[in-house]
Amino acid sequence: MIRVGVNGYGTIGKRVADAVAAQPDMEVVGVAKTQPNFEAHTAVERGYSMYAAIPERAPLFGDAGIDVAGVVDELVADADVMVDCTPSGIGAENRSLYTSYDTPAIFQGGEGSEVAQVSFNARSNYDDARGADTVRVVSCNTTGLSRLVAPLDEEYGVEKVRATLVRRGGDPSQNSRGPINDILPDPISIPSHHGPDVKTIFPDLAIDTMGLKVPATLMHVHALNVTLESDVTAAHVRQLLEGESRVYVIPEGLGLDGAGKLKDFALDAGRPRGDLWENCVWGESIAVEGRDLYLFQAIHQESDVIPENVDAIRAMTESADAEESIARTNETLGIGLAGDPTGFNDSERVGVETADD
Ligand code: NAD
């Protein structure tokens, strides 16, 4: 069993902990939190040992009726792999903590690429992370773009990617984020930083990105134009993407005309937290003009990086190859819609073991 510690138990951390707990070859040693808020109580109910991320605050947990198993240093010492899910910038500050205990660590996309030896996307460069001590799982947007670029590049060759990223202003719980009533070019300067981030996965890729922020919390939506190196048909591209386990090609006729309905679809199907781990590509948007491919995809920012964290753990510990790890993660989480809407109910397999069971 790979013993995994999670430092930072917010949007990403709680999902990583649940995904790790669902793996037959992994266990959650514990989670570290700064404060005994509602998420701390949920973590305890789910059976995760609680560690104080800031040692001086440990008594606050006791006051709130939460038993603390120790402080974060003890969690790091005990874990085979730490997954840092703290806010952007804190992960880099925590790096020396992990190295001081020789504990391999995974960082998230809010950190700069220099935080780790490897920037990671399971579909694109799993082997680069084999045996690495530090890995950065790239951001939600970069993960979404990489999952598309990898098969397109392998099948047709990619001459140039141009992507406009319409980004949610904040996650549903981030009540300090915005805009509330505006449409912001963000950043105003072009190209945006997203293209260079994709190049941490595909160093030779020609890619330009433009970003906007809008008053939404549900998902990001990408408008893509990819110039391929060979002539293709829309039907061929569609078939290619339907063969990708972490790409859901939205079938026509389901009425899934936006991020709101996609999220409803996920909630209705019983997905945990309404998560959509897959890129959601609108099938009817896939269009080809010569060598130019166009499409729209929606990316659920809170969850698309979760299976990638699980695979990064296996890559670092060299406990499975890419194909095996991706298949196991998909199977245990219920990922892989393959264009069949009825397959969505497979997500009911996702079971988080609670303290009771
Ligand atoms: P979050 O704010 O929801 O959660 C971070 C948690 O870490 C909070 O519970 C916070 O209290 C806690 N924390 C703060 N300081 C800490 C410390 N010193 N030690 C331990 N815990 C601490 O943030 P998030 O959205 O989960 O983001 C985490 C990382 O994941 C960031 O790098 C972010 O860029 C990246 N990421 C976020 C998203 C997203 O859409 N939310 C998507 C992909 C990647």
Domains located in the chain, CATH noted:
2-137+305-335 (3.40.50.720), 140-304+337-344 (3.30.360.10)
Average pLDDT, integer, range 128-142: 98
> Quick check: 270 pLDDT over 80?
yes
pLDDT digits (tens, 9 = 90+) for 182-206: 999 999 999 999 999 999 999 999 9
Q: pLDDT grade, residue 350 (50/70/90)?
A: very low
> For residues 129 and 157, is the Cβ–Cβ distance under 8 A?
no
Q: How far is the CA of 84 from the centre of ligand 1 (A)?
A: 8
Average pLDDT, integer, range 236-253: 96
- Closest ligand 1 atom to residue 89 Cα is 32
Q: pLDDT grade, residue 336 (50/70/90)?
A: confident
**CA-closest residue to ligand 1 atom 33:** 110
Q: pLDDT grade, residue 337 (50/70/90)?
A: low
Average pLDDT, integer, range 235-261: 97
**CA-closest residue to ligand 1 atom 34:** 110
Average pLDDT, integer, range 328-348: 67
Closest CA to 73 of 98, 48, 95: 98
Q: How far is the CA of 86 from the centre of ligand 1 (A)?
A: 4
- Closest ligand 1 atom to residue 305 Cα is 43
**CA-closest residue to ligand 1 atom 32:** 110
**CA-closest residue to ligand 1 atom 41:** 302
**CA-closest residue to ligand 1 atom 19:** 53
> Quick check: 342 pLDDT over 50?
no
Q: Give the pLDDT of residue 117.
A: 98
Average pLDDT, integer, range 29-46: 97
Name the percent of the chain lying above pLDDT 90.
94
Q: How far is the CA of 276 from the centre of ligand 1 (A)?
A: 19
Q: Give the pLDDT of residue 164.
A: 98
> Quick check: 278 pLDDT over 80?
yes
pTM: 0.95
Average pLDDT, integer, range 100-111: 98
| SS3 at position 127 | helix
Phi, psi (degrees; rounded to nearest 5) at 259:
-65, -35
Closest CA to 207 of 190, 188, 183: 190
> For residues 194 and 145, is the Cβ–Cβ distance under 8 A?
yes
- Closest ligand 1 atom to residue 111 Cα is 32
Phi, psi (degrees; rounded to nearest 5) at 300:
-85, 100
Write the Ramachandran bin of 204: left for phi over 0, alpha for psi from -120 to 50, otherwise beta: alpha
- Averaged pLDDT of the chain: 94
**CA-closest residue to ligand 1 atom 15:** 86
Average pLDDT, integer, range 273-297: 97
Q: How far is the CA of 13 from the centre of ligand 1 (A)?
A: 7
Average pLDDT, integer, range 88-104: 98
Handedness of CA 212, 9, 200, 125 (dihedral sign): negative
Average pLDDT, integer, range 97-123: 98
Look up residue 219 and give its DSSP letter.
-
Q: pLDDT grade, residue 76 (50/70/90)?
A: very high
> For residues 137 and 110, is the Cβ–Cβ distance under 8 A?
no
Q: pLDDT grade, residue 347 (50/70/90)?
A: very low
Q: pLDDT grade, residue 357 (50/70/90)?
A: very low
Q: How far is the CA of 280 from the centre of ligand 1 (A)?
A: 24
Name the percent of the chain lying above pLDDT 70.
94
Catalytic sites, residue numbers: 140
Average pLDDT, integer, range 246-261: 96
Candidate of 39, 108, 213 to mutate for ligand 1, largest count of ligand atoms within 8 Å of Cβ = 108
Ligand 1 site residues, Cβ closer than 6 angstroms: 7-13, 32, 34, 53, 85-88, 90-91, 108-111, 139-140, 171, 301-302, 305
**Residue entry with tokens 């190049």:** 199
